[in-house]
Chains A and B, each alone.
Chain A
Amino acid sequence: MASSNWDRMLRIDLNRRTYAVEETTAQLEEYVGGMGRGVKLLLDEMVAGADPLGPANRLIFSTGPLTGTLAPMFAQTCLVTKSPLTGTILNTYAGGDLGAEIKFAGYDALIFEGQADDWSYIFIDDGHVSFHDAAHLLKMDSLGTEQVVREELGVAQARVITIGLAGQNLVKFAAILSGRRVFGRGGAGAVMGSKRLKAIAIRGTRGLDVYDRGAFLAAVDEANSVINKELANEFSLLGMFSRHGTGSGMGVVNEQGALPTRNHYMGYFADADKIDSYAYARDYPTRIISCYACPVHCGQVHHINKGPWAGLVTRGPEYETMYALGSEVLNSSAEALAKANDLCERLGMDTLTAGTAVALALECAEKGIIKGEGSKLKFGDPRAVLTLLEDIAHRRGLGDLLAEGPGVAARELGGEAPAFAMQVKNSGFAAWMPRRMKGTGLSFATANRGGCHKRAPIGAEIMGFVDMDAVEGKAAMVKEIQDKVNAIFTLVGCRFSEFVLPLESYLALLEGATGTSLSAEEFMTLGERIWNLERVFNVAEGFRRKDDSLPGRCYTPIVGERSKGAVLTEEGMNYMLDEYYSLRGWDSEGVPQAAKLAELGIEAYIARMST
């Protein structure tokens, strides 16, 4: 029966330099694809307590049933692994066109396991896999590596995944690059580095089918119609992103006093309009780009044609990076921010956790917690940020400590540092303030991958559909968005698709592509099942309520304009957390109860939590 799924995965063993094609089991197919497949595989294949930087860890690049098809807003690829940054299970996403190429090569997923003695890169050319020595690439940055790998293979249009120096040096928040798109969060780059895998090139020439072409194309047209209607409204989120990129919302967030500034000390950055999307488009030649098959085209390419870094071309920075390497460190220079963004791509690091680690260092220097040479660091000095980013990737001096992640570094630095290390489970905060947006705060605290904004009610809170300051009702909102986004991530839909596509649209696309028919309720339950599986994984690693917590700064009032005095109380946080655990069917320690797992049909995993 025709389907957009191949029901085949490619497994590559880096110890033996062997590969095998595996059929997917019916049990795995129940998880649809993308994140669901990845979580299920990792949970089943990796024992609790295994070293994320050891041979037992897997790098699972998992596509969805809509990846590679004409369906709009399904360009991303999901990557599941155990995070060396948090110690939790991790799912992280890169846009662009990688996932489509994996599908065209004839696979739904790529699984890398083992650990080689020598550095290599791999070429997946449809059904053929070859291993190549990579020792000569180790001095090259991620983008340079991509170019050389293409030249060596003689395949100009191959998609290439790489790591940079940070991944090689096992920086705990190292990223994996797919062109200029980034698997940013959680340190997947360090996992790839631990396997001594410098790059993966892929070329796929196979055509992808669907179950019912007529029904599928009708669902595509319906989705495009809904999306294009939203895009026509220049004040909708997608309408703004489409015209000006994700950084177009920075002013809106800033006006609400919700833009994390100066290491989350303030919620308003006076110079926000010097580094937002409008500033870039005004001052530098800009070109708009899309992910694969996406009409939203929220990507922006900026040519920095003046100043100390004239000649630099970057994709982005995206909004989240404008915060992490901009407002959070009081960087008012669009040029320095572009340089910092480019540096993180070339070195291969998550801009978010890198930014929070840098901000931590700046504040520690200011407060005298860091002594000696590092004590001269200060906010508002972009050169210091660039130097620290290099030091982290090279693991030099203070950078070596920051490379362990902001939570770990703060404990080591001592004093009151842990209170202003803006992280959850050692993963840096995204660009949102728990004191201002309470539901988003609960999302950060409870996220299975730590400090995560992808399953937060950000749109509802920042657009004012709900009272952002209220704690009441937020637990239910957070649970719903977590389950829903997890479900969408089985198809590997873009996070932004949730802003616009109704559930029926996802289900119609899925049915047209694969013949799989799910009700909205079943789809949401799938998301909940995956959320619980992740939780089981984390509980088995020792995570409990104490880890679902926010740093002390979130419980002290915001300083400065627009949101002065806004605060989250410990009482409010506990109220939300208790309600959340209760709604989830988890005990007061955040451990899923047997009845909940049974209800979700995953009672077989109860035993894992008692090991």
Chain B
Amino acid sequence: MNQSPLLVNEESCTECESCSLICSIEKTGLTNPKLARVRVVKRWPQPPQLQICRQIDCQGTPCVEACPTEGLYVSGREVVLKEEECTGCLVCVEACPYQAIWFDQERSVPYKCDLCGGAPRCIEYCFVDALLWQDGGENG
């Protein structure tokens, strides 16, 4: 079965936010979870919500459905966001069931997890397997 190469397990998350920090460093050069493409929303006393794109594991890929242009599409096991096609209408931000698409006010573009081109940094800093990289799958 086709699966996202990035497995998300909220139950295992201990809320250290290291995934967000390395993500924000990787993508912006600066540290702040509010700049990251994976975010930990604490929900005491329950395990946190992990806001990160589930790629093709997301049932029906509603962001792709909602996008009025070709700005979001499925490619292999990934959902790809193509900035050049984006008109900044934000329907994808609304449509995402994981609240995992954000809008960059300065650049007027949405952004989300792009799996770092196949080698996501967040995996390296998650020591409790809340984020796991799984090889394999039909396209893997």
A residues adjacent to B (C-beta < 8 A): 68-70, 72, 97, 104, 157, 179-180, 204-210, 213, 217, 224, 228, 231, 287-295, 297, 299, 301, 303, 313
In contact, B32 and A295 (Cβ under 8 angstroms): no
B25 contacts A295, C-beta separation under 8 Å: no
Asked if A293 and B17 sit within 8 Å, CB to CB, the answer is yes
Beyond A70-B21, A70-B22, A293-B21, is A209–B16 a contact (Cβ under 8 Å)?
no
Residues of chain A contacted by B25 (CB below 8 angstroms): 70, 213, 217
The distance in angstroms between the C-alpha atoms of A35 and B128, with both chains bound, is: 31
- A376 and B125 CA atoms in complex are apart in Å by 55
**Residues of chain B within 8 A of A301, CB atoms compared:** 44-45
Q: A68 and B18 in contact (CB under 8 A), knowing A157-B41, A207-B24, A287-B45?
A: no
Given the complex of chains A and B, what is the CA–CA distance between A104 and B32 in angstroms? Answer: 7
Closest chain A residue, CB of each to CB of B35: A207
**Interface residues as binary, B1-40 with A (CB distance below 8 Å gives 1, 0 otherwise):** 0000000000000111110011011001111101100000
Give 15 pairs: A residue, B residue, CB < 8 Å, sorted on A. A69-B31, A70-B21, A70-B31, A72-B18, A97-B17, A104-B34, A206-B30, A207-B28, A209-B29, A210-B31, A213-B25, A228-B127, A289-B15, A295-B18, A301-B44
Q: Which of A206, A210, A213, A293 touches B16 (beta carbons < 8 Å)?
A: A293
B47 within 8 A of A: yes
Known: A205-B34, A209-B31, A289-B15. 19 other contacts (CB 8 A): A70-B18, A70-B31, A70-B125, A97-B17, A204-B32, A205-B32, A207-B29, A207-B35, A209-B30, A224-B125, A289-B14, A293-B17, A294-B16, A295-B16, A295-B18, A297-B14, A297-B128, A303-B45, A313-B45
Q: Measuring CB to CB, which residues of chain B are less than 8 angstroms from any residue of chain A?
A: 14-18, 21-22, 24-25, 28-32, 34-35, 41-42, 44-45, 47, 125, 127-128
Distance from B29 Cβ to chain A, minimum over Cβ atoms (Å): 7
The residue of chain B having its C-beta at the shortest distance from the C-beta of A302 within the complex is: B45
By a CB distance below 8 angstroms, the chain B residues around A206 are: 30, 32
Set of chain B residues within 8 Å of A293, measured between Cβ atoms: 16-18, 21
- Tell me the bound Cα distance from A207 to B32 in angstroms: 5
Q: Is the CB of A208 within 8 A of B41?
A: no
Across-interface contacts of B29 in A (CB, < 8 A): 207, 209, 213
Residues of B within 8 A of A288 (CB): 14, 128
Q: Which residues of B contact A224 (CB under 8 A)?
A: 125, 127
User: Which of A72, A224, A292, A313 has the largest number of chain B CB atoms within 10 A?
Assistant: A292
Docked complex Cα distance between A69 and B17 (Å): 11
Q: With CB as the reference atom, state the residue of chain B lying closest to A70.
A: B21
Do residues B32 and A297 form an inter-chain contact, with CB atoms below 8 A? Answer: no
Contact call B15/A290, Cβ cutoff below 8 A: yes
Bound Cα distance A294, B44 (Å): 18
* Contact call B14/A208, Cβ cutoff below 8 A: no
The CA-CA distance from A231 to B14 in the complex, in Å, is 15
Task: List chain A residues, Cβ under 8 A from B24.
Answer: 207
Q: How far is the CB of A37 from chain B (nearest CB, A)?
A: 21
Bound: A373/B17 CA distance, A = 51
Nearest Cβ on chain A to B57's Cβ, whole angstroms: 24
The smallest beta-carbon distance between B63 and chain A, in angstroms, is: 23
Q: Which 10 A-B residue pairs are closest in the complex by CB-CB distance?
A: A207-B30, A290-B16, A290-B14, A297-B14, A208-B31, A313-B45, A70-B21, A207-B32, A295-B127, A104-B32
Q: Chain B residue with minimal CB distance to A299?
A: B14
B45 to chain A, nearest CB (A): 4
B18 to chain A, nearest CB (A): 5
User: Please, which residues of chain B bring their CB within 8 A of the CB of A72?
Assistant: 18
Cα A69 to Cα B29 in complex, Å, equals 12
Residues of A within 8 A of B30 (CB): 206-209
Chain B residues contacting A291 (CB-CB under 8 Å) are 16
Cα distance, A228 to B21, chains bound together (Å): 18
Say how far A316's CB is from chain B's closest CB, in angstroms: 12
Which residues on A sit within 8 Å (CB–CB) of B44?
179-180, 301, 313
Within the complex, what minimum Cβ distance (angstroms) separates A321 from chain B? 18
Among A68, A157, A180, A287, point to the contact of B31 (Cβ < 8 A). A68
Look across to chain A and name the residue whose beta carbon is closest to the beta carbon of B12.
A288
C-alpha spacing A287/B125, complex, angstroms: 20
Residue on B with the closest CB to A203?
B34
Across the interface, which residues of B come within 8 angstroms of A228, CB to CB?
127
The residues of B that contact A292 with a CB separation of less than 8 Å are 16-17
Query: Which residues on the B side are within 8 Å of A231 (C-beta)?
Result: 127
Contacts of A104 in B (CB 8 A): 32, 34
Residue of B nearest to A314 (CB): B45
